[in-house]
Structure 1
């Protein structure tokens, strides 16, 4: 398993939200590139980036800090938020991004996901964000009646690199991840699943590792900023 430190970008700063609410953002660093480098210095092998403004706007908004991270930090990164057409996918990958995360378009234009995954093998992931088992889109602002597993299964033969599954009610709440739902999803599909939302302790990481399902990794944000999880220790635990 891989540890993915989260860098969520709002108005150019590195923040964490509480349960996906944009008006409940805590700023942790005004210099996202410096924060990214700090995570790398502490021993991470990947970074998870989210353009929060872009998720609502439907197009990249925090491009400048993302580009600074890609230019200055020498580990692979994945990015979600506002990536909803092939031109944006191509642009980010050309700038050195390792993996784009397609969330809203996975619901609204699944054919685009398949086209992108075919055009850029290994570089396209699907982001599935859910409340109470149902998918939410457009920066988590719009709820759908689509079941998480049903959506994931649509991409079984598409060649996507991973599914990033976020339980919105756990995100930023420091209450632990939804281990059961994450494990159920990982068992239901052959696509690698990355856990996100609520990972707040080493015990949470151990629970994900021991869940009995083949998880690819785990994303953590607030716990890393608050010092509840040490990056080096967490990365070592998941690799072991």
Structure 2
């Protein structure tokens, strides 16, 4: 399971929003380019960059910043926020971005998804932002509601040949309240590869998501226990545990790892490919290298 750092940009600065609301902004001293270089140095597989000004204004604003990021690092970067036309996407890709993330235009402009899929292929990925499977997708910087619910949106993506999408939980984004695992399981069951975002606050969340990712694929998996020796897995295995080692991080955030000789059957549908992490990294709650180790 991939662990992908997020770099959210507002007025050229590195920020995080709580619940996607501009009045709930948390600003960080580290500038976006420096953050990108740090995450690359710590092993990020790629970077998720969001132009928040663009998302709220409906057009790219911080393209100079993410262009600079693309020149500063060698790992791929994906960028979203205000990309609502073919020319917006072309400019982002021309600046050196690996792929463009679209959301509002995908669910508010008739025929746009088909057009960009035909023109750009896998260099465009769709972010489905919502609070539940049956809830309507959020658009226009989450200030408006689109025409489809999540299930309908994913059905359209599948019909057009998309193999993966991003699912952003609008209720947990930036809150450090933990992911909603049952919702993520339901999203995975829709039949495409999923990268989820929202709520991750600690290494235990990463461990539980990895277990969910493994159980969706149907493989033998680790049983993770916290410092109180309580299982934190959504899918606890049965059988006798064999202790594998003490402490998955220097801080001792995870006390013990143990393996159960059991196979969790795979669930039909898609897979949990990765998780986007933002505030927990910047607040120092998670070290990226520890998260990457747990993600496998």
Using the size of structure 1 for normalisation, the TM-score is 0.94
What's the counterpart of residue 198 of structure 1? 199
Q: Deviations over 1:61-98 (max 9, x none)?
A: 11121111011111011111100111111111122111
Matched, 1:185 2:187: yes
CA distance in 2, matches of 1:184, 1:131: 12
Larger C-alpha radius of gyration, 1 or 2?
Answer: 2
Which of 149, 155, 166 is residue 153 of structure 1 equivalent to?
A: 155
Q: Deviations over 1:84-122 (max 9, x none)?
A: 111111111122111111100111125222221222222
Q: Which has the higher contact order (CA 8 A, sep 6+)?
A: 1
Q: Deviations over 1:4-30 (max 9, x none)?
A: 101011111010011111011111135
Matched, 1:131 2:96: no
What's the counterpart of residue 76 of structure 1? 76
Tell me which protein shows more helix as a share of its residues: 1
Over 3 Å off, 4+ runs = none
Per the alignment, in what secondary structure is the counterpart of residue 229 of structure 1?
A: coil
Q: Is the 8 A contact 2:63 2:92 kept in 1?
A: no
CA distance in 2, matches of 1:151, 1:60: 24
What's the counterpart of residue 14 of structure 1? 14
Matched, 1:220 2:260: no
Note closer, same or farther for the CA distance 1:184–1:215 as it changes in structure 2 (3 Å cut). same
> What is the RMSD of the two structures over their aligned residues, measured on CA atoms?
1.5
Using the size of structure 2 for normalisation, the TM-score is 0.77
CA distance in 2, matches of 1:117, 1:171: 27
What's the counterpart of residue 111 of structure 1? 111
Q: Which runs of 5+ in 1 are unaligned?
A: none
What's the counterpart of residue 236 of structure 2? none
CA distance in 1, matches of 2:102, 2:68: 21
Aligned length: 238
Per the alignment, in what secondary structure is the counterpart of residue 70 of structure 2?
A: helix
Note closer, same or farther for the CA distance 1:24–1:187 as it changes in structure 2 (3 Å cut). same
What's the counterpart of residue 140 of structure 1? 142
